[in-house]
Amino acid sequence: MPYTPHDPRAPRIALVGATGAVGETLIRLIEDRAFRYREIHLLASPRSSGRTLHVDGVAHPVSPVDTFDFADADLAFFSAGTDVSRKWAPEAAARGALVIDNTNAFRMDPRTPLVVPQVNADLLARRPASGIVANPNCSTIPLVRLLRPVEDRWGLRKVVVSTYQAASGRGHSGTAELREATRAALADPADAGPQAEFRPTLAFNVVPFIDELLDSGFTMEEQKMLQESRKILDLPHLDVTTTCVRVPVLNSHSEAAWVECDDSVDRAELVARLGALPEVTVHDREVPGAFPTPRTVTEADHVHVGRVRVSPHDPRGFWLWVVADNLRIGAALNALQIAEELVARGTL
């Protein structure tokens, strides 16, 4: 039973951004994975407060974050946007809560570990100096989970990635806009529909531009993948270059990754090593060329890999096609697995 009100070892949880796409996914995962807690406080902006959400069959009101005393929480999940995290996560940490933050606010802070439990869980053995553990970007998480065993076996020289990111990366408003814009375009091809979240329209379109443009010509989303991969893998000079593209898919991000290694790679060994990873499904183990897609994958908590191709011209390089649920693996699941690891290690 995850709800254990009389167990002092079970943490008191605050969930900031409870009404958003990631927050609601986190609630479902807390239920599905039977994460034990003795209290749960659902928080959101004043605009979203006042609603009632159910956790483990119990109704909980959604309260405004600016009225909550974080001294009443042992663990605080933040999924309400970078500005909210910058304002309230340090306050929560100062009041004694251990924060797991799902935004870009603290990922590159040297006092804050950036954690994917399958890669660098050892960083959770002690409470961070900032009181915050950062959750990486939704496209970085599945990539580094696959790169870790490659680095350990063959060494990494370069990674070139194109991402194909779903509308749910913009939350409920992103998926709602894609649905509405698609209906509008089907009724009238000249009607672009709403463009509040995606400009130009995402309906029947692909947009090679996510987040703000930097002076380098890359976007912030592309820079995140470079910086975060280096930090998580502890490879400060790893060459990672990315093009991030928004596509008209409701949920689950896809990636095409070209990886160059120090030594020659044997495809059979590569497939075996990737297939042995926890919560990873390699689709072409038995059928070379098989591949996953956002519509066809059935295990939402696995990283799905296909089209594993070692270059015949230079076997130090290979391609991977990767699909992962960005709301679960890329956000809420990774955050909850951080919490599970903190509890298991006695850090919380």
Pairing of strands 317-324, 303-310: antiparallel
47 is in an annotated binding site: yes
For residue 342, give Cα distances in angstroms to 6, 11, 168, 348. 20, 11, 28, 5
Query: Which residue's structure tokens are 């912030």?
Result: 220
Residue 61 counted as an annotated binding residue: no
Tell me: is residue 230 an annotated ligand-binding position. no
Catalytic entry in 41, 253, 283, 302: 253
Cα gap 321→304, rounded to integer Å: 8
189 labeled part of a ligand binding site: yes
169 marked among binding-site residues: yes
Phi first, then psi, for residue 283 (nearest 5°) are -80, -20
Tell me which of 138, 244, 261, 302 is the catalytic residue: 138
**Phi, psi of 19, deg, nearest 5:** -90, -5
The annotation status of 168 as a binding-site residue, yes or no, is yes
Q: Is 38 annotated as a binding residue?
A: no
- Quick check: is 138 catalytic? yes
Does 48 show up as a binding residue in the annotation? yes
User: What are the distances in angstroms from CA 48 to CA 16, 42, 69?
Assistant: 11, 11, 18
Query: Which candidate, 251, 267, 68, places its Cα nearest to that of 154?
Result: 267
Task: Tell me which DSSP letter residue 140 carries.
Answer: H
Query: Which residue from 288, 259, 22 is spatially nearest to 161, judged by alpha carbons?
Result: 259
Q: Which amino acid is present at 71?
A: A
Is 326 annotated to bind ligand? Answer: yes
Q: Which residues make up each annotated binding site?
A: 19-22, 47-48, 107, 165, 168-169, 189, 246, 326
As annotated, the active-site residues are 138, 253
Q: Which residues make up each annotated binding site for substrate?
A: 165, 246
Q: Which residues make up each annotated binding site for NADP(+)?
A: 19-22, 47-48, 168-169, 189, 326
